[in-house]
Structures are given as C-alpha cells and as structure tokens.
Amino acid sequence: MQLYNNLSAKERAELIAQAGKDRLTISFYAYAKIGNPKTLRNQLFLAWNALDVLGRIYVAHEGINAQLSIPADNFEAFKSHLDSIPFLENVRLNIAIEHDNFAFLKLKIKVRDKIVADGLNDATFDVTDIGVHVNAERFNELIEDENTVLVDMRNHYESEIGHFKNAVTPDVDTFRESLDIIEEDLKDHKEDKNLVMYCTGGIRCEKASAYYKHKGFKNVFQLEGGIINYVRQINDKGLENKFIGKNFVFDQRRSERISDDVIAQCHQCGAPADLHTNCANDACHLLFIQCEACKEKMDNCCSTNCMEVHHLPYEEQKELRKGQGNSNDIFKKGRADHLPYKQDLRNIFEILNK
C-alpha cells in the first residue's frame, strides 16, 4: 500500500507533459476537530493519489489546509470524495485565476500541530467566534468607509508585489508577528474603527478575526475566500477591482496577475519588477525580486558571491555547503543586507494620520 510519493519532481513533470491534460489549481481549508490526523492523512493520500492529485496539504487536530492541482477531468470525482467527508462537505474551493499544469509536482500530505503556524495558544480563546465574512461587493463598500482600517494579514514578500488600495501592509516575516503589531497600533480604536482583514485564501483571517474579537475589537470583518475568491467574484459580477498588482501564491507559479500595475521593484537595481525568484546558488535559495536585466547579468543569483559559487563545479559546491545547515534557515524570504532596493511597507500610523 503506497502512502508516500515515490517519483521525483522531474519524473512527475515528464508524466504530466506526456498526459497532455489540463490541470486545475485549487486551495481550500476547514477548521474541524480531527481525532486522529494521521489516519485521515493516510486515507486522503490513498484516495487522492488515485485521482492524480498533486500538492501540499497539512492535516492537524484543528483541521485541514490544502493547496493542490488535479486533472480537470478528475474534478467531479475529487469533489464527490470531499463531500463524502462530513466536515468537508460543500467546503468552499478557491479555484485559481491562472493555472499551470506544473504548479505542483508531488503529493505531500503532512501531519502538523496546526494547519497554519500561528504561534497562538488557542486554548485561551474561542477560535470559532470569528468575524463577519463579507463578499467582494460588501468588501469594496467597507474599505471606502473612513472608519475602516484595512489590514493585509500576509507577510512582507507577499504584499510587496500586490495589495488592496490603502491597505496596511505590516513589514513582517510571519503571521504571528502581525497579530501583536496590529493590536498595539489599533489599541485605541477597538470600538470606533472597522477592522477589515484579507489574505490569500481566507485561512489566516479566520484565526485572526477570532483572536481580535477575543482582544476586544468590536467591528471585525474578513474577506470571504481571500484575494482568490475576490477576483473571481469581481470578474463574474462586473465589480470594480480594488486590488493592485499580483497575488503571491505558494506554488511554482509564484503569483497571479490581478491588475497591470507593477508596484514593486527589482531588489538589485530598483527597476520596476514584480517577479519573485530563488537565488540559483543551492546554498542560498534566497527568495527575492529580480528584473530580467539583472537575471541575465547575475545569472539568476542574488549576489556576486552567490554567482561565483553557482559557477563552481557541482562537487565543489557540495563541499562548501557541508556544515552550513538548511538554506531555508540561513536567509529570511526577501531580506538580505546586499539587496539595496527592498521596499518599506505601509504601517498603520500612516493610515490613521493621513
């Protein structure tokens, strides 16, 4: 009985290309009490592997968080399987605006302590006492209200390439960091301001809205289905789009273009750019924004030092990496002293005092 992926990314990419089938990119989440996450994890793997599902899925005692792709002609079978699981019946599926058949190349279903790493002790508050979910039309109305503070609950490298107009974009590396910053900055406005939040697909706002209600905020709202669902609604209903730039996504696509605006800049030269890439040096892999000119000049590397290492024979690179630890632990995403054009993001005080 196969319970784990046994193909390399290269082998899987070749199979996808040979199949010639269009794939849908989908995300969803659900908070629920799961008694045995490992058992559920194994059941999901057996069912979804048979449907050629690929993606990154986290299962925990508190629920499930899934980002995946599936052949379009298997979608109905996949949806039927979801509906056969009581807490996933009729779960909202965020279907991507832009699809890439190679967005995911492995099926990874992992058991985690939480479906979002939030650093919170959930026992101290009721995670089901959430804020008001609003659709795209109501969201557009709320964010034009002078008593509204609109907060982006994503990390700095996400909001740097795209965000809603007039949104607060905390300069944070983690979801947990933003919770304390926002609470402190809005401590004097818990009753007189609308706290309106959004994220990629809604999962971070689900927890944040319950947290802020516990902290005494009276008017807490969240964008139903996040940016992904917002874009689908404005397109379907002909509503005004108030999102500028691109929506960062956590798969091989890296982003979906929502508007033609390029609001970010190359971290190396400052030219307009909004394409994230990973440094080609395997010992680095820093995520940063690079324009086409710098990509060619720097050979897809973030620094001259990394470029020198990248040009070394593979065995020499391996020797240099020994004892250096995992590259993800070396650098934070989008931050490094040698990137002179990393943008400063908008804080709450700029909004309140404008």
pLDDT of residue 345: 53
Residue 322 included in any domain: no
**Sign of the Cα pseudo-torsion (274, 275, 276, 278, in order):** negative
Q: Which of 80, 111, 142 is at the close of a domain?
A: 111
Q: Can you count the helices (H) and strands (E) in the chain?
A: 13, 14
211 is in which domain, residue-wise? 132-237
pLDDT of residue 338: 81
Dist CA 275 CA 271 (whole Å): 12
CA atoms within 13 A on the CB side of 306: 22
Look up the CATH number of the domain holding residue 78: 3.30.70.100
Burial of 17 (0-12, 13-18, 19+ CB in 10 A): exposed
Same domain membership, residue 233 and residue 193: yes
Position 180, amino acid:
D
Residue 282 included in any domain: no
Same domain membership, residue 143 and residue 98: no
Work out how many domains the chain is built from and give that number: 2
Same domain membership, residue 92 and residue 160: no
Residue 328 included in any domain: no
Residue 77 included in any domain: yes
**Any idea of the CA torsion for 223, 251, 119, 43, to the nearest 10 degrees?**
100
Could you list the active site residues? 199
Dist CA 184 CA 140 (whole Å): 26
Count Cβ atoms below 10 Å from residue 144 Cβ, excluding itself.
12
Residue 312 included in any domain: no
Look up the CATH number of the domain holding residue 217: 3.40.250.10
Same domain membership, residue 138 and residue 84: no
Same domain membership, residue 136 and residue 230: yes
Same domain membership, residue 233 and residue 136: yes
Same domain membership, residue 233 and residue 139: yes
Q: Which of 179, 213, 237 is at the close of a domain?
A: 237
Are 74 and 68 in contact by the 8 Å Cβ rule? The answer is no
Residue 252, SS3 per DSSP: coil
Same domain membership, residue 100 and residue 139: no
Dist CA 332 CA 316 (whole Å): 25
Residue 265 included in any domain: no
Report CA Rg, the chain.
21
Cβ contacts of 286 within 8 Å, gap of 6 or more: 278, 279, 302, 331, 333, 334, 336
Are 201 and 91 in contact by the 8 Å Cβ rule? The answer is no
Q: Is 232 left (phi over 0), alpha (psi -120 to 50) or beta?
A: alpha
Residues in the chain: 354
Per-residue tens of pLDDT for the chain, all 354 residues:
678 888 888 999 999 999 999 999 999 999 888 999 999 999 999 999 999 999 999 999 989 999 999 999 999 999 999 999 999 999 999 998 888 899 899 999 999 999 988 788 777 878 888 999 999 999 999 999 999 999 999 999 999 999 999 999 999 988 888 999 999 999 999 999 999 999 999 889 998 999 999 999 999 999 999 999 999 999 999 999 999 999 998 777 889 999 999 999 999 999 999 999 999 998 888 999 999 999 999 999 999 999 999 999 988 888 887 766 555 444 457 677 788 777 655 454 454 444
Q: Which two tokens stand for residue 322?
A: 């020994």
b/e per residue, 329-350, with b = 16+ CB within 10 A?
eebebbbbeebeebbebbebee
Same domain membership, residue 150 and residue 212: yes
Residue 309 included in any domain: no
Same domain membership, residue 224 and residue 150: yes
pLDDT of residue 261: 96
Same domain membership, residue 191 and residue 101: no
Q: Which of 200, 217, 237 is at the close of a domain?
A: 237
Residue 249 included in any domain: no
